[in-house]
Amino acid sequence: MNIRFLGTGAAEGIPSFGCTCRQCKLARKEGGLNVRKRASLLVEVNSRRILLDTPPEISLLLNQAEVFNLTAIFLSHEHYDHIGGLIEFEFWNQVLPIFAGFDTLPHLRLTPRLESRALLSGFSTQSFLHFADLRIMPFKVSPHVPCYGFSFEANRKRVVHFTDSSSELSDLHRHIAKEADLVIFHTPTFETNRNHLSVQNVISLVKDSSLKRVIITHINHNNFSHTELEEKVAPWAITVAHDGLSLEV
């Protein structure tokens, strides 16, 4: 299974327009790994290719990644940074299955052109959707806004993606993450924050549990720069994702 991080920024991306904070200035000046487009992930197994979330810059991200076909799109929740680019797919030249939670579907904005090519479906939690050798299980991550994480399984490997989860993981979440070959967490900020899982929360989790391999993504401009963050999490063997990071699981 190949995992590609197309974008790794949180809601506003880095640099955030109109912002002159240290991180945003650094991203404008030095570019490179300091720039984070909003979060989107590609999961590839043989010829099947699943896109997770459609940030506003999705057409740019797919062009840069040279992705010209998709098996399906999965949407995690209704926030703009995750579904804002969905209407870009009115220019996609294939019929496209799009999956979202039943409580997310009413928030999707489709143009008539997109409606004619989108196969919209609601998914249920803790049940599997199969795409040849790949199976996907959605599960709920946040009680505030209906938001879903996903377990991707193929060739006896499993990747668990916690999208925008709240600061505490439930027993169910710990059970799903246990024994996974890779666990991906969204950590906008470094310091613990009431609404979102933080880098500090993930460090505590890694200390307390036996997660095999952990990657953090969905990072905002209040967090550290890429290099600083890498240094901070190095003792726990946590990987900091960057735009374009691709790895085989």
Binding region for Zn ion (CB under 5 A): 16, 19, 21, 24, 81, 221
Shortest Cβ 33–Zn ion spacing (Å): 16
DSSP state of 126: T
Shortest Cβ 19–Zn ion spacing (Å): 3
CB-wise, 214 or 219, nearer to Zn ion? Answer: 219
> What is the spatial distance between Cα 141 and Cα 162, in angstroms, rounded to a whole number?
7
CB-wise, 117 or 193, nearer to Zn ion? Answer: 193
Shortest Cβ 226–Zn ion spacing (Å): 14
CB-wise, 21 or 132, nearer to Zn ion? Answer: 21
Residue 99: φ, ψ to 5°: -115, 135
The 10 Å CB-count burial string (b at 16+, else e) for 140-160 is bbbeebbbbbbbbbbeeebbb
Amino acid at 41: L
Shortest Cβ 215–Zn ion spacing (Å): 16
CB-wise, 33 or 134, nearer to Zn ion? Answer: 33
Q: Which residue has the tokens 């949407």?
A: 75
CA distances from 213 to 150, 188, 240 (A): 16, 19, 12
The H-or-E segment that residue 89 falls in is none
CB-wise, 16 or 223, nearer to Zn ion? Answer: 16
CB-wise, 21 or 237, nearer to Zn ion? Answer: 21
Give the contacts of 102 (CB within 8 A, at least 6 positions apart): 122, 123, 124
Shortest Cβ 235–Zn ion spacing (Å): 27
Shortest Cβ 10–Zn ion spacing (Å): 5
Amino acid at 114: L
